[in-house]
A = this chain, B = another copy of it.
Amino acid sequence: MKHKENGNTKQKIYETAKRLYIEHGYFNISNKRLSEESGINQGLITYYFKSKKNIALAVLTEDYYILSGYLKYFMTPEDDPLMYIVTFMNVTFQIRKHDPKARRFISDVMQEDLLEEFAFVNQKEEYLKLLKKNSSTSENPETQLKLVLATVYGTQRTIQRLINESMELSYDEYFRYMIEILLFALHLPDKSDMVDTLIHKSDQATKQLFKTHPHLLNESDYLYKK
């Protein structure tokens, strides 16, 4: 019984935080506000999650599992880990483009360096497969993986910030550049026809996904309740 109550408390903190972070902005929601809105005292929030970052990481993870649950009907990471990673990126870029609140949330958590932390845990297997196939260096795989993620997400974080500050770059250009930098970081040849193929095939899957499941274009329709 105690255990169940604890679970409910933790869940309630999480669900409230998720909604508030996305609806009102991650940086605008203090633990004090979260405590007021959830009716759970601040000590328990710290007890269960230690820091806001851990709640945001849980949101990223849940989002990833929901989206990849749908995506798996179109492709699997086992068949082609590179296409899978690119398509997932394509999906999230479309959501960012379509849903301003999703864009704000992802921009905020990128400022906190959470995307690479998220990917290091949740996309580790796919990246390691790619590195194994393409790497010629003797560095240990964990260090290689960290370098790849530092490159992809360090750059993405900064570009997103500049776009938010009004740099003129379309989402198509941004997405293409992210693929180019991914290929660079993975030591894959950066041939423009390979980039074109990745864009074209991931576009097809992404369009199909949103055509079949249009509610995935808004986080408030699949990730939390307003």
Q: Which residues of A contact B (CB under 8 A)?
A: 113, 116, 139-140, 143, 146-147, 150-151, 153-159, 161-162, 167-169, 173, 177, 180-181, 184, 190
User: Interface majority SS on A: helix, strand, loop or mixed?
Assistant: helix
CB-CB under 8 A from A180, the residues of chain B are 184
Q: Is the CB of B147 within 8 A of A153?
A: no
Report the 6 A-B pairs with minimum CB-CB distance, sorted nearest first: A154-B158, A150-B158, A154-B154, A154-B155, A151-B155, A184-B184
Q: Is the CB of B167 within 8 A of A146?
A: yes
Question: With contacts A116-B158, A146-B162 known, what are 4 further pairs, Cβ within 8 A?
Answer: A146-B167, A154-B155, A154-B158, A184-B190
Can you show 14 pairs from A to B with CB atoms below 8 A apart? A113-B158, A113-B161, A140-B168, A146-B162, A146-B167, A147-B159, A147-B169, A151-B155, A151-B181, A154-B156, A154-B157, A154-B158, A180-B184, A184-B190
Q: Is the CB of B168 within 8 A of A143?
A: yes
CB-CB under 8 A from A169, the residues of chain B are 143, 147
CB-CB under 8 A from A153, the residues of chain B are 158
Q: State the Cβ distance, A88 to closest chain B Cβ, in Å.
A: 20
CB-CB under 8 A from A157, the residues of chain B are 154, 158
> How far does the alpha carbon of A159 sit from the alpha carbon of B148 in the complex, in Å?
10
> How far does the alpha carbon of A140 sit from the alpha carbon of B173 in the complex, in Å?
13
Q: State the Cβ distance, A136 to closest chain B Cβ, in Å.
A: 11
> How far does the alpha carbon of A116 sit from the alpha carbon of B155 in the complex, in Å?
12
CB-CB under 8 A from A154, the residues of chain B are 154-159
